[in-house]
Amino acid sequence: MQRRTFLTGTALAAAAAALPLSVPAFADTARRKPRRALGPTVDVSSLDDLQDAIDAAGPGTRIVLANGTYTVPSAKPLTITGKNGTRSAPITIVAASRGGAVLRGERSFVFDASSNVTVSGFSFRQSTTLEIPPTCTYIRLTRNDFQLADIEGLHWVMVRGDEAVIDRNHFHGKTTLGIFLGIEGDGTEAMAQGVHIHRNHFSDHTFAGSNGGEPIRLGVSPRALSSAHALVEYNLFERANGDPEAISVKSSDNTIRYNTIRDSLGGIVLRHGNRTRVDSNYLIGGEEGIRIYGNDHVIVNNYLAGLSGRAMVIGSGTERDHLPGESAEARRGNDAPDRVLIAHNTLLDNTGGTLSGESQRPHEPRDVTVADNLLVGQTGSLVEMATTVRFTWQGNILFGAAADGNIPAGGFVRADPRLVRGSDGVYRLSSTSRAIDAATLSPAPVTTDLDGDPRGSRRDVGADEYATATPLRRPLTPADVGPNAR
């Protein structure tokens, strides 16, 4: 018989938080693809002609720049000012073939007071940041290749405008301090709303410093309490070694899902902010896993395997909570995790630590639910928590030569999950696994699993729900992302 344990009090609140309230209205990727209306196509072969075509463009205009290498004069960037397409008829500026038009010089496109403009297929090689300012909305950068000048401290793309879409780009080849893609907002505290980052390839950032080389930085400390409602999904990170944080979240109310981080130093870190959902991500063969600070997060369906660092860390805080009006110094500190739900994750053979806490800060995590996770390891201890307050542990399955650690008795069972390795390298449940139908949380925090399979009414422990059908989702490969992705 399937076991059921009903949560009460703060644990129930954490489970309720699993509902995808923070997922923006464009959670269905297909809804983010505006229909292309018929309009004039203008072919150009020089920067002057390109600027003239931009100045004359209206809704539905498609401007095609001939392949070649173009050096944009410092005093004469390509300005997109006061240009407004529509959702069904954007203004599109595109290279004749993907990557065929190379833009060099100090700057390329400069946006202002524009909306519904798409820039596609360019190779950006400029020496300053490409920015989408707060005066712009619905700007899309798609199928571009970004390898800007490798200048110390240069951030490559900064988004401050609402409803921007950054998709199917390749960011690669940086060795210095600076981020590939940053999301901020107007002023010092606001966040751009509804930014959608998907199907991008982030690779080969080799900055050797200890901080400051994130592929994606979603906010900064002063913006931590501002809701962004960003959706970061289906992105691939490979050899992302510029920072321990491949996806650094420093804002509130975001969704991080369906991403693959492989062979990278960086992991997913909820560094600042509240109410972010981290769902169905693969972190494989790298170093850092998922690290959690802040309140009311939901961490479900993630697969963390073969990591040499700490797989999942429930952090501690220099502050109990970040609050409006606090000092800049306080805001930069860590916010202790409260009311976090960690459920249906698989942590497999991570040698630097499986599930652990931190003791170096004064404020401990509180009211956290850790349930229906699968922890497998061969060395050390599977659970190494520091001080905790009002934790709920239930339904977890532990296995392997690693010690149990300090997980409370009654919060787990020891059982062989009988995993089998798939053709994609992912270990999933076999038909005789003890994890099948063994989940305990009610209400259910998930309706599908890591692969996209339905969970049904009797859920399995861990990220995988046993199924015989071909998985709908797998770890991403370079063919799934970047300029040539579907």
Average pLDDT of the chain, as a whole number: 93
Residue 34 pLDDT > 80: no
Asked if residue 168 is part of any domain, the answer here is no
- Both tokens of 431, joined, read 């038909």
Asked if residue 61 is part of any domain, the answer here is no
378: alpha, beta or left, given left = phi > 0 and alpha = psi -120 to 50? alpha
* Contact yes or no for 66/101 (Cβ under 8 A): yes
Name the β-bridge partners of 165: 140, 196
The residue assigned the tokens 């861990």 is: 462
How many domains, the chain?
1
Residue 22 pLDDT > 50: no
Give residue 382's domain range.
5-24+194-480
- pLDDT, residue 2, reads 31
Mean pLDDT lowest among 33-37, 130-134, 359-363: 33-37
Residue 14 pLDDT > 70: no
Sign of the dihedral defined by the CA atoms of residues 383, 461, 249, 363, in that order: negative
Asked if residue 486 is part of any domain, the answer here is no
Residue 321 pLDDT > 70: yes
CATH of the domain at 235: 2.160.20.10
Q: Residues 421, 427, 429, CA angle at the centre, nearest 5°?
A: 100
- Both tokens of 114, joined, read 């524009």
Distance (Å, rounded) from C-alpha 218 to C-alpha 241?
18
Asked if residue 437 is part of any domain, the answer here is yes
Asked if residue 74 is part of any domain, the answer here is no
The residue assigned the tokens 């600042």 is: 272
State the DSSP string of 119-177.
EESEEE--SS-EEE-TT-EEEEEES-EE-----TT--SEEE-STT-EEES-EEEEE-SS
Task: Give 23's pLDDT tier (boundaries 50, 70, 90).
Answer: very low
Residue 106 pLDDT > 90: yes
* Contact yes or no for 308/288 (Cβ under 8 A): no
- pLDDT, residue 17, reads 38
- pLDDT, residue 195, reads 98
State the DSSP string of 390-424.
S-EEESEEEESSSEEESPPTTSEEE----EEE-TT
Kindly give, in sequence order, each residue whose CB lies less than 8 Å from that of residue 178, ignoring residues fewer than 6 positions away: 151, 152, 153, 154, 155, 156, 207, 212, 213
* Contact yes or no for 41/56 (Cβ under 8 A): no
Among residues of the chain, what percentage have pLDDT more than 70? Answer: 92
Asked if residue 202 is part of any domain, the answer here is yes
- pLDDT, residue 38, reads 58
